[in-house]
Amino acid sequence: MKYHFKKKKGRKVYNLVKRIFDIVMALFALLILLPVFIIIAILIKSDDGGPIFYKHKRVGKNGKSIYVYKFRSMAVNADEIFSHFTEEQIKEFEKYYKLENDPRITRIGDFLRKNSLDELPQFLNILKGDMSFVGPRPVVSKELNKFGDNQDLLLSIKPGLTGWWACSGRSDTSYEQRVDLEIYYVNNYCAKLDFLCLVKTIGAVIERKGAK
């Protein structure tokens, strides 16, 4: 099924309403999910005694550097493990920025990733205004080359907790497909597309579609 959306006028109103929605829903989610945060924190801490949270430098709107928060899903010595990657693993990582079977991921981390629970701390990013509920997934600086002439277009709006790529298969898609899906959203974003994306995201999370 293909979706067709046209550019909408009244972007200022749309952006204002979207920001209000982001703040209200992020606060509500943090309040409701507080027990879940506590349980996850206990599991991570009891697993290896390492930090509960992890922040990773990404590129935000207009090229601004932001730190995206996550529950830590990798071993505390992840950098050391990376230094022992095989040539094949390095090539796979450089191509997709992920590994099919990443030896750095902990037992708890694997569970969190497969159920998209590692992303929950990004509600804090939404409150800060670095991210929105819906938008292109934040990328690291090296990934920008993958977007070619569309780099500035990608960075023209806030990255999102979910997005058109994230709800359309995520890890089950190639990076070329990811680029097309992210740019499609940037060219067509509107309230209708945001709503459809959120609905699709709920289904993808339940089915664990593309989560690895």
In the structure, what pLDDT confidence band is assigned to residue 206 with cuts at 50, 70 and 90? confident
Burial 158-191 (b: 16+ CB within 10 A, else e): bbbbbbbbbbbebeeeeeeebbebbbbbbebbbe
DSSP string for residues in 147-199:
GGGGHHHHTTS--EEE-TTTTTTGGGS-HHHHHHHHHHHHHH--HHHHHHHHH
Task: Please tell me the distance from the alpha carbon of residue 162 to that of residue 165, in angstroms, as a whole number.
Answer: 8
Give me the pLDDT at residue 77, please: 87
Reply yes or no on whether the pLDDT at 197 is more than 90: yes
Residue 36 in this model has a pLDDT that exceeds 80: yes
Per-residue pLDDT at 4: 46
Would the pLDDT of 64 be above 60?
Answer: yes
> Parallel, antiparallel, or unpaired for β 53-59 and 65-71?
antiparallel
Q: How far apart are CA 12 and CA 29, in angstroms?
A: 25
**Summary mean pLDDT of the chain:** 89
Residue pair 120/36 in contact by the 8 Å Cβ criterion: yes
Q: 139-149 burial by CB neighbour count: b if 16+ within 10 A, else e?
A: beeebbebbee
So what's the pLDDT on residue 188? 93
Separation CA 106–CA 29 (nearest Å): 26
pLDDT of 8 strictly over 60: no
Q: How far apart are CA 44 and CA 48, in angstroms?
A: 7
**Proportion of the chain in helix, strand, coil states, percent, rounded to 5:** 55, 10, 30
Distance, CA of 168 to CA of 132 (rounded, Å):
18
Please indicate whether residue 90 or residue 179 has the higher confidence score (pLDDT): 179
Percentage of the chain exceeding pLDDT 90: 66
**pLDDT tens figures, 70-124:** 999 999 888 888 888 888 888 878 777 777 788 889 999 999 998 989 999 999 9
Question: Three-state SS string across 74-122, please?
Answer: ECCCHHHHHCCCCHHHHHHHHHHCCCCCCCCECHHHHHHHHCCHHHCCH
pLDDT recorded at residue 211: 60
Read off the pLDDT of each residue in 181-202 and give the average, rounded to a whole number.
94
* Residue whose structure tokens are 């898609």: 173
